[in-house]
A and B are shown apart, each in its own frame.
Chain A
Amino acid sequence: MASSKTNRRNLLKVMGMVPAAITLAPLAKIFPSTSKTSPHIIIVVCDAWAAHNTSLYGYPRPTMPNIEKFAKRSTVYNHHYSAGNFTVPGTASLLTGMYPWTHRAINLGGMIKNSLGDNQIFKALYDTHKGIGYAQNVYADQLINQARAYLKTHIPFGAYNLQDGVFYDSPLFNLDAYTAFSSFEDGIINHGKGFDGSVWLGPLARLFRIRNKRIINNAMSEEYYAGLPESLDPFLLSDVVDGLIDTLTNLTEPSVVYFHMFAPHDPYRPYSKHYNGFRDDEYSPNTAPTHPLVSEPNSDHELRISRLNYDAFLASLDQELARLFNYFDASGLKDDSYIFLTSDHGEMFDHGMRGHSDPLLFEPLIHIPLVVSAPGQFERHDVDTPTSSVDVLPTICHITKNEIPDWSEGRLLPTLGGESDPERAVFSFSAPQNSSFGNITQYSISMVYKNNKLIKYNHPKYSKYEFFDLLNDPQEKLDLSDSLPEIGIEMVKELDKLLPSILTMKIPEDGNK
């Protein structure tokens, strides 16, 4: 009896609160609930990380054993492609879910088209997830900054560097960071060789930075025999991972964390214990001949040395990532977060090219790792159908029960809401010499379809289709474009049909899905 009285009283109380709840409902959107209802989304991007050099993806050198361990409880996307072949388009596609020809961040130092600039993952998840963004790559940092209205925390570029020699990330320039970046870092103060835009203060600042760098390098020479890794300024791999762990430790409400590490980007500076670690192994890849679009061809010897250093750097990065994985387990984050490990583009030591600065689209440049750990996942899944970096955004929206924004051009990733589609073609694109405002005239575009790859190069110096059978010729040594198989002819037809809309920005209504 007493119990029923209490219930009636409670019921009356609740009914009394209904009008107030209806009145206050709109406020819920302004002040999202702090109670944890949705998993965290943690995106860890390692800049210039090529699947090609990663042991998880079949590379003969044991470069990343800890990633392999992590993958045992994750989904591994074996044919994942970046939509771009360098940071700006690759990162912009990952953040926006759009192909480069749509978001138009196609130049070094370029930005996402103004009208689309904030159409990023942070905006898509704004109602449910607190946005936290960090990029140790200056160009990626500019892109994140475009969505600053949707970021609760934007960690400054230099936060984990040993000296902060850049100007634009000072709080003074918060409202105008991109202009400050373009003026200071890309003009007034030079960060490499060449001339500063300032007569005396520029070179003085440069000399001080170089001097400090030398002092720091000397102090750390035991740990980093080949010098410290650098992203404009030197940093310790351990500091960056510690920074990420600190960031994650402070998560109180559902968050989307985008953490873009600079390693293993050039300069390749591994720990001393990894330096030359692979020098005496038996792996000795035959390099393919120099491609006509390589601007500064490298000898086989140079490529071999660079590859050794890159592989060693991967091993060092892997060692640090192991600490991160342990933290995921120990903190319980692994159980209530989706963790995405990926890259913005790859790196190549073949075809005469070292790095990723030429407009080539060979596998090492665009085939990137994607390993996703779902909450409480204890088994490995493998996805063998092609996927693209533009798929990440819609997938994250799906798993967080957010609406997939109409700007997104990707699909849901298999096992995370999507179906494996062996009929799917994925594209990568490079057009750094074009205006981001007009039609595109010089470009490289690749299409991967059923283990075949078609590349169209359209440059004044070299204009040609190339076709490779990835299954039988993974190194892309044998161009079959002169005697195209039937599937190649189909792919040429399909690409030719798509190109006019891609190059003129007139995207068909159903997008590029």
Chain B
Amino acid sequence: MEFIKKRIPESNEMLMALGMALFVVHSWSLRMFFFRVPSFLLYMGVGQILAVLAYMMAFALLESLFVTLILILVSTILPSTWLRDGLGYKSFIIILVAAVASYLIQREIESTYPGIKTLLLWAVETGAPMIALLLLAGFVKPVRKVIQFLSEQVSVMVFIYLPIGVISLIVVIFRLIF
């Protein structure tokens, strides 16, 4: 137990990781939601649209928690200098690069399977800048400070998106039961 406790990152670092995940995932979902709203307005009432929003926000909460848990889990497994120490700013870089990669990849996904070569290429194209940025922030203090600062700012989102996600999840559960 003591061993696991030692391996788990600092709580404020985990909070920063969660903040970044919540910020990216919820903002993305909201963007998609507002993109769909004009057509929803044609055939859905306000209540129905809010219910869809609740589903999307609840799913975003679960996705954020999932991503954060993965980061924490990986940080406990890897050597502490790799990810555990400074998880906050490192998560910022990882999530940001992975989100940009997802944006670019989603533009490419067609109805045909991309194939192993393309998938490997995508993995390299995502992994390389991620590692480069992590190394840069690790070795260049001013860069790390800037990213840490941004990461702290974004962690405020925990107090906005987390309640939204939790309320949405309650709404969804309520709708599924009653």
Show the binding face of A for B, using Cβ within 8 Å: 105-111, 114, 172-173, 175-176, 178-180, 182-184, 186-188, 190, 192-203, 206-207, 210-211, 213-214, 433-437
**Shortest beta-carbon distance, A440 to chain B, in Å?**
11
Residues of chain B within 8 A of A193, CB atoms compared: 109-111
Cα of A183 to Cα of B53 in the assembled complex, Å: 8
B59 touches A207 (CB 8 A): no
Residues of chain A within 8 A of B11, CB atoms compared: none
Q: Tell whether B3 is near chain A: CB-to-CB under 8 Å.
A: no
A172 touches B43 (CB 8 A): no
**Shortest beta-carbon distance, B66 to chain A, in Å?**
7
**Chain B residues numbered 139-174 whose CB sits less than 8 Å from any CB in chain A:** none
Cα of A396 to Cα of B109 in the assembled complex, Å: 46
A188 touches B110 (CB 8 A): no
B106 touches A194 (CB 8 A): yes
Residues of chain B within 8 A of A114, CB atoms compared: 45
Q: Is the interface of B mostly helix, strand, loop or mixed?
A: helix
Instruction: Give the B interface residue count (CB, 8 A).
Output: 41
**Shortest beta-carbon distance, A213 to chain B, in Å?**
8
Q: Tell whether B52 is near chain A: CB-to-CB under 8 Å.
A: yes
**Chain B residues numbered 4-62 whose CB sits less than 8 Å from any CB in chain A:** 24-25, 28-29, 32-33, 36, 39-45, 48, 51-52, 55-56, 59-60
B113 touches A210 (CB 8 A): yes
Residues of chain B within 8 A of A434, CB atoms compared: 42
Cα of A194 to Cα of B103 in the assembled complex, Å: 10
Q: Tell whether B85 is near chain A: CB-to-CB under 8 Å.
A: no
Residues of chain B within 8 A of A200, CB atoms compared: 63, 67, 98, 102
**Shortest beta-carbon distance, A210 to chain B, in Å?**
5
Cα of A205 to Cα of B28 in the assembled complex, Å: 17
Residues of chain B within 8 A of A211, CB atoms compared: 113
30 A-B pairs with CB atoms under 8 Å apart are: A105-B43, A107-B42, A110-B43, A111-B43, A172-B176, A175-B175, A175-B176, A175-B177, A179-B48, A179-B175, A182-B40, A182-B44, A182-B48, A186-B36, A187-B36, A188-B29, A196-B106, A197-B56, A198-B29, A198-B59, A199-B98, A199-B99, A200-B67, A201-B66, A202-B106, A203-B109, A210-B111, A210-B113, A434-B42, A435-B42
Q: Tell whether B112 is near chain A: CB-to-CB under 8 Å.
A: yes
**Shortest beta-carbon distance, B132 to chain A, in Å?**
21
Tell me whether A183 and B52 are in contact in the complex, defined as CB-CB below 8 angstroms, given that A196-B106, A199-B24, A201-B66 are known contacts: yes
Residues of chain B within 8 A of A196, CB atoms compared: 32, 106
The proximity string for B residues 48-84 relative to A, scoring 1 for CB distances below 8 Å and 0 otherwise, is 1001100110011001001100000000000000000
User: What residue of chain B has the Cβ atom nearest to residue A196's Cβ?
Assistant: B106
User: What residue of chain A has the Cβ atom nearest to residue B177's Cβ?
Assistant: A175
Tell me whether A210 and B36 are in contact in the complex, defined as CB-CB below 8 angstroms, given that A199-B25, A203-B102, A435-B42 are known contacts: no
Q: Tell whether B105 is near chain A: CB-to-CB under 8 Å.
A: yes
Residues of chain A within 8 A of B109, CB atoms compared: 193, 203, 206-207, 210
Residues of chain B within 8 A of A186, CB atoms compared: 36
Leading 9 A-B pairs by shortest Cβ distance: A183-B55, A110-B43, A197-B32, A107-B43, A214-B113, A436-B43, A179-B51, A176-B175, A210-B113
Residues of chain B within 8 A of A188, CB atoms compared: 29, 32, 55-56, 59
Residues of chain B within 8 A of A206, CB atoms compared: 109
Residues of chain A within 8 A of B41, CB atoms compared: 435
Residues of chain B within 8 A of A203, CB atoms compared: 102, 105-106, 109
**Contact among B33, B39, B59 for A107, CB-based, below 8 A:** B39
Residues of chain A within 8 A of B66, CB atoms compared: 201
A187 touches B63 (CB 8 A): no
Residues of chain A within 8 A of B39, CB atoms compared: 107-109
A187 touches B52 (CB 8 A): yes
The winner among A107, A179, A193, A435 for most chain B CB atoms within 10 A is A179
Residues of chain B within 8 A of A202, CB atoms compared: 106
B176 touches A176 (CB 8 A): yes
- Please name 12 further chain A to chain B contacts, defined as beta carbons within 8 Å, in addition to the given A175-B176, A197-B33, A435-B42, sorted by A numbering: A109-B39, A114-B45, A178-B48, A179-B48, A180-B55, A182-B40, A183-B56, A184-B55, A188-B32, A199-B63, A199-B99, A211-B113
